[in-house]
Copies of this chain bind each other. A is one copy, B any other.
């Protein structure tokens, strides 16, 4: 690339679109939910000048790991679709930026190579995103392979049982960490008798909880009752997510679910937020509504496609800088200073008379 380096998230998106094959760009953009992004854009902050925020920072500790900031890299499948170095580049950038990647069950590179790329002094192990593999035995087998390869902190994704990749993968890109028999069953039957017969249930979650002492998070909850039940099942954290809008196009925007869930969880376990994050202001908004940290999705893939590991690192840094600036100007020296009173919602759409519970 001979032009100037991208300066903003939007620059990265533009460059990524130029570099990627149209099919792959469409696959990446698929389902991107305007409702998710609008809900975040409705959140406005109230500047608080003249506060003393010298020495402020964005650090936090999660599941025993020290993170420089609350922006993790969401599990995204088949990253070699976007750049030759794939998940390794993303993992390296996450480490360099003081955070973690959650490695997808559908990673296109071996788990041990990814953990090796992420291995930097003072950094904990990357996290592992677990998809249910149709039954307990296969699921446990996959989990053990991931843990053996050095991944830790398990994020169990429960919201996408009916989604199979709409893209025909190139031959050289595969889910290399799955047994061949682990490949998604091509079901020609119906939703209920096909996909859902392979989907995990609350019983399966209880079983999974019993298999490991490692931190276990559940990703894809949007109802406070479900969040509560996950906490009672002994899960160590939950991720409020609608899968970035990819699964159900009319799912409730994640931010609207977050507030009620955070209120219900009331600090018992960490609540993470996923879906629609595009800026440090969005990170701030999610934290104000009760999240402890967020997962960044498509934007880091834009960085990956545009500039490899360097692009991922720069995208993370851009969001962190925006988060710091927003904190500084609203008088927040610590993440824990960010709360609901720091923001107002100026609604372009109204969500009223609709308590979920």
CB of A49 to closest CB in B, whole Å: 4
A196:B248 contact, CB within 8 angstroms: no
Residues of A within 8 A of B (CB-CB), count: 75
Contact yes or no, B192 A43, CB < 8 A: no
Question: Which of A82-90, A135-143, A199-207 binds B?
Answer: A199-207
A109 to chain B, nearest CB (A): 28
Residues on B with C-beta less than 8 A from A158 are 49-50
- Residue of B192, B220, B326, B350 near A248 (CB, 8 A) is B326
Inter-chain contacts of A53 with B (CB < 8 A): 192, 196, 199
Neighbouring B residues of A44 by C-beta, 8 Å: 35, 250-253
- Chain B residues with Cβ below 8 Å from A191 are 56, 321, 324-325, 327-328
A222: B residues at CB distance < 8 A? 46-48
Q: Chain B residue with minimal CB distance to A38?
A: B346
Contact check, A220 vs B47: say whether CB atoms are below 8 A apart.
yes
Q: Smallest Cβ distance from A76 to chain B, in angstroms?
A: 19
Known: A35-B44, A248-B329, A348-B349. 17 other contacts (CB 8 A): A35-B346, A45-B248, A46-B223, A47-B252, A49-B226, A51-B201, A53-B196, A162-B325, A190-B324, A191-B321, A191-B325, A192-B333, A199-B328, A344-B351, A345-B353, A346-B349, A352-B352
